[in-house]
């Protein structure tokens, strides 16, 4: 697919050409009212205004507008036919050569992105975090259990996951506080309640569910990907020392639930279709309910950047690719619903940390510092093993077409000192 040009000025290097058409929510600076929008270049398009003008007509079964409220849920739940019609309509209205260029009804919808604050794109109903990168899982196995059999016996047979906390999922730009919890500094020591000393970031991809399944009705793997509305970047911040003490036998809890950051634009699955790549060989072959061919991963370049308080800009500490996942999103959904669990519109599924095989491709500080035993060196001479107060982490992602780029927008957050307990 080639670049789709717009009569709006979109530089070739901009990550929001008409090939993208993401959706999100925004509000004007100093205002509280939110509105649904898409983005073309450095402009946001108010979808409520465009729809009320009559230019954007969606094939709905009811007369109600999907963009009249301050939520994307009605649109996301409207189904693939409406999603596809929406994308083609936006591309037609704003495409190069459109007869609507200069039309007042269009110009009233268009504002510079600098005029607005991009907010949380979606109400997250539930959040499940998977563990789907074989390189990452093997690295953590070697760190925690040694080089012999680094993967747990079940890992190559099913997409391992845990139910995470939806209420602490925040949009890019939201600062987070260093959490406190029980930690045990050495295996011989008694536990203490203290701020985490091993605050980590995790480079992940998140999927937003757009089609629900009924309770008791598993989703066949052949249909799983069609249940995904779109994708975001996801940083599942982790307190590794809290996690290591608490997680056995039931898994992560307070070491994960304090904050998860997502990018503000939902990149619709159709925009990523040109970047589907067949999944590689999985050995042993998954059980039939998890096996279909073709099955796909997405060719998405991913980067984690770090900016310390003394730095003027971010420095890349990880560059990897979503192709480094082992388990696909289709397999994740098929497994998640295999027992009859009902996914709902707006549910968020995290891929788990995405790591490659080389040092510069490791998607967490846990791996980069090998659990704090070696330094991550920065070009200004600073070094990190885990994150310090004042550090800021930024995730970015992009797909490269023949003559265009599709970007996700950043998922960033700054680490602040913990709030002092009441009465301290």
Rounded to an integer, what distance in angstroms lies between the CA atom of residue 18 and that of residue 160?
36
> 328: buried, middle or exposed (CB in 10 Å: 19+, 13-18, 0-12)?
buried
Task: Give yes or no: 136 in active site.
Answer: yes
Catalytic residue among 136, 227, 335, 336: 136
Give Cβ neighbours of residue 56 (< 8 Å, ≥ 6 apart): 47, 50, 67, 86, 89, 90, 93
Active site members: 136
């Amino acid at each position: 697919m080639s670049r789709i040009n717009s009569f709006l000025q979109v530089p070739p290097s901009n990550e929001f050409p008409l090939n993208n058409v993401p959706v999100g929510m925004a509000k004007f600076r100093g205002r509280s009212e939110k509105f649904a929008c898409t983005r073309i270049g450095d402009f946001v398009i108010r979808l409520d205004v465009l729809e009320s003008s009559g230019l954007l007509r969606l094939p709905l079964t009811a007369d109600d507008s999907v963009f009249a409220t301050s939520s994307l849920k009605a649109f996301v739940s409207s189904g693939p036919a409406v999603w596809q019609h929406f994308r083609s309509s936006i591309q037609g209205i704003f495409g190069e050569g459109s007869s609507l260029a200069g039309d007042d009804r269009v110009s009233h919808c268009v504002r510079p992105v600098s005029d607005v604050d991009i907010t949380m794109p979606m109400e997250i109903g539930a959040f499940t975090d998977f563990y789907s990168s074989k390189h990452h899982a093997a690295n953590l196995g070697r760190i925690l259990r040694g080089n012999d059999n680094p993967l747990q016996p079940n890992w190559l047979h099913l997409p391992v996951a845990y139910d995470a906390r939806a209420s602490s999922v925040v949009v890019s730009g939201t600062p987070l506080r260093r959490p406190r919890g029980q930690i045990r500094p050495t295996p011989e020591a008694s536990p203490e309640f203290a701020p985490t000393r091993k605050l980590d970031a995790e480079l992940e991809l998140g999927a937003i569910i757009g089609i629900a399944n009924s309770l008791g009705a598993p989703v066949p793997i052949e249909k799983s990907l069609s249940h995904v509305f779109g994708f975001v970047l996801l940083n599942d911040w982790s307190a590794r020392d809290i996690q290591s003490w608490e997680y056995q036998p039931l898994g992560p809890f307070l070491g994960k639930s304090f904050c998860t950051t997502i990018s503000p634009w939902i990149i619709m699955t159709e925009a990523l279709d040109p970047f589907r790549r067949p999944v590689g060989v999985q050995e042993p072959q998954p059980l039939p309910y998890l096996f279909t061919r073709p099955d796909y991963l997405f060719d998405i370049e991913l980067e984690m950047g770090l900016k310390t308080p003394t730095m003027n800009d971010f420095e890349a500490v990880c560059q990897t690719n979503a192709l480094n996942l082992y388990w696909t999103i289709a397999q994740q959904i098929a497994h998640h619903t295999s027992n009859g669990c009902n996914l709902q519109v707006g549910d968020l599924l995290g891929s788990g940390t995405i790591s490659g095989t080389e040092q510069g491709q490791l998607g967490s500080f846990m791996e980069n510092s090998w659990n704090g035993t070696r330094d991550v060196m920065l070009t200004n001479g600073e070094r990190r093993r885990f994150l310090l107060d004042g550090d800021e982490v930024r995730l970015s992602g992009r797909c490269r077409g023949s003559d265009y780029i599709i970007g996700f927008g950043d998922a960033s957050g700054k680490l602040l000192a913990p709030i002092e307990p009441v009465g301290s």
